[in-house]
Amino acid sequence: MYRLRNWLISDNGVSEEDMLQNGNRLMTGNGYLGYRGTVSEAEPSWMPAVIVSGLYDRQGDLWREPVNAPDCLYAKLFVRDEPLMASGENVLSHEQTLDFRYGIYSRETSWTVDGVSVTLHAERITDICNVHRLCMKYAISADAPVTITLKQGINCAVHDLNGPHLGNFRLDKDEKNGLLVLDADTLEKAVPLSVACTVDVAGDVVCGTEVSGEGAFHVYTIKADKDKRFDFFVYGAVYSGADTAEDCGVKARETALSSLAEGWESILSGHRKKWDEIWLKGDVIIEGDDYAQHALRYSLYHLHSIAPRHAKSLSVPARGLSGQTYKGAVFWDTEMFISPYFLCTEPDLVARFIRYRIHTLPGAKRKASEYGYRGAFYAWESQESGDDACSLFNVTDVFTGRPVRTYFRDKQIHISADIVHAIRTYINVTGDTEILKEGAMEVILECARFFLSYLYYSPEHDRYELLDVTGPDEYHERVNNNAFTNRIVFSVFETVQTCVDLLKKQDGGFIEKLFAELSFDTDMAFMHEVMKKFYLPQPDSGNVIEQFDHYFKLEDCSLDTVKSRLCDPREYWGGANGVAGNTQIIKQADVVLMLVLFGNEYSDEIKRANLAYYEPRTEHGSSLSNCMYAQLSCASGNSEWAYPFFIKTAEIDITGTSKQFAGGIYIGGTHPAANGGAWMTAVQGFCGFSMNDGKISCKPRLPEKWKRVVFSVVYNGEHIEVTVTKDGYSLCMK
């Protein structure tokens, strides 16, 4: 059972399900490597993983996914050739803990063997200072004489959802320095990957070496006894050709050996200092509500542990670095749910997200062309090239085992508009227009061009419409005039005009040259005509905005009614045959999301009416949903109603109760979008914080038990501390 206290989360479960959940719950990361929170001797079924950001591979016709690197911190204990496992019958006690202030994983396990108690205490970090480095302290003791064997080294027997992904293994060892090295290549593109580890041993042990198809290992024989402790300090390194042009094997060797020379205490001290710097800018203090405080900080920890500070242009996958779920792909989550936090605390990270979209623009143009359109149609599931990793059959029918045709890839066109929205928000907050010249302006124009080629003119209504789309809801596919999609696409056209006007004042030659290179003058003229007749769904007489054409004509039944129609709890609810497809039950915030993003355009009466209508009809089957209902509730004056939605968002990776399967497909992992949504709700929702028109403002609407909220923002290059109470707010330069 997990426990949350202060900056610590612990769990003492030993079942396979516990191990699987704790892989997510207790994971560590540094933006380059994600190390799942599994024990060092984890079985493949527990899904241990060392995920390398930005490195992907495809095995045959299976889904492309991130590469799970060989584990250089692998360690397993044996007594008389019998392994000591966290799930073994001879376990006396077991607890795993994550210190999420500093990203330190620890575990303590005791076993009884023929009346002798053997205890293991281990700590490990995914170093935040040197992102290629993994370090572990592994301490063994016993209360009576016993001979223990420790097998530690580089484990190649990794778990893959759709693997294997590595081949051409080359194992090397340096006996003098106790160094083990594994060089390999990905199977699809032969990208090199190197893993190295070395060990410093405090205690009198006998060491040998074992090399097999499972990897390369040191094998230590330990003569344990009462009052004797054996400390092993393991220093590992991981490099891939996806992030360095240098020889990966040489770099891995150098990093492992330099880490050995530096030592555990020094590395840990630097790691802690860096985390202190991160929290100085990124913490949020909530007074009066301990659980909300712990849950929010835990959410922010997960965001920081996957932030790609090491790269100039890289984004954040939808499941972070917690595994291979969702193909390790980048979704709209980054722009809409993760960027807002970093825009306020580390805006340079948002610039990196934008550069990733600039870098992957060729892939977006290829996708648009594939479907017969012009411009840039960004991937629903984007990997390193920007080509769409999303398949046409994204879920499996749980009854027949057959793949089900879905339309995430083809019809969720709002992805291109979401990216433009994020670019515009970044410029509005930071004033950084140079990124437009780096390629962001071209992204904006090509996205606008895509929508101009996609829209449909209705002679009957004398208006331009967006037909055959799938909105954020996803349970209702191929609908016409989804309100959210129409509004955010219209904002693309608005952004084009705003940015063109801005650049004409700052550098008219640049925009003139870009228009000529892209032959955009004709598109610009057409865009102006479209904007005059573009259809934006409006509230009805009851102030409710219809989610899409004829949505109100669908069966209006309760959520419980739809749930009662399930024959299998793993059924996919959406699509033509899903239990929700022909009803008004929706997966997640859709119209509500639109009202949050464009809240200044709608009255409180409209917001309240749509909350009242859509919330009972929403399954909240996505981690993206609750935070939007919470924010709109705050904006319309009901913070107490918003509070449970905030808690559900903030604790999603704590409780482990989120949806694990969609139509038979495993979708477990951490939830960075919800982590960002927790901050958005606390700061933008409850504190009413905004940065607009060159100034910071707050409209406090704190929950009843919240006494005070303190957070920091970076604005115009200045570090500002914001303090919010029920009565007002204050700003202080730091």
How remote is the C-alpha of 282 from its chain's centroid?
17
Write down the residue that tokens 């009413």 correspond to. Answer: 688
d(CA 383, CA 63): 12
CB 247 within 8 A of CB 151: no
CB 77 within 8 A of CB 90: no
d(CA 77, CA 88): 12
d(CA 307, CA 394): 27
CB 204 within 8 A of CB 222: no
Contacts 24+ apart (CB under 8 A), 288-294: 288/705, 288/706, 288/707, 288/708, 289/703, 289/705, 289/706, 291/4, 291/647, 292/646, 292/647, 292/650, 292/682, 292/706, 294/4, 294/5, 294/6, 294/7
Coil vs helix vs strand at 259 = helix
Q: Which residues are catalytic?
A: 474
- The HSE-up count of residue 361 (CA atoms within 13 Å, CB side) is 19
Distance set, CA 152 to CA 113, 323, 408, 637 (Å) = 21, 23, 44, 57
Show the beta-strand stretches assigned E in 164-295. Answer: 166-174, 179-186, 192-202, 205-212, 215-224, 229-240, 284-287
Coil vs helix vs strand at 116 = strand
d(CA 709, CA 41): 42
Q: What is the DSSP string of 319-356?
A: TTTS-SGGGG-B-THIIIIIHHHHHHH-HHHHHHHHHH
Evaluate the CA torsion angle 568, 573, 576, 579 in order and state its sign: positive
d(CA 190, CA 731): 53
Can the peptide bond before residue 672 be classed as cis, meaning omega within 30 degrees of 0? no
Give me the sheet containing 708-715, strands edge to edge: 284-287, 708-715, 718-725, 728-733
Q: How many residues does the chain have?
A: 734
d(CA 626, CA 631): 9
CB 483 within 8 A of CB 537: yes
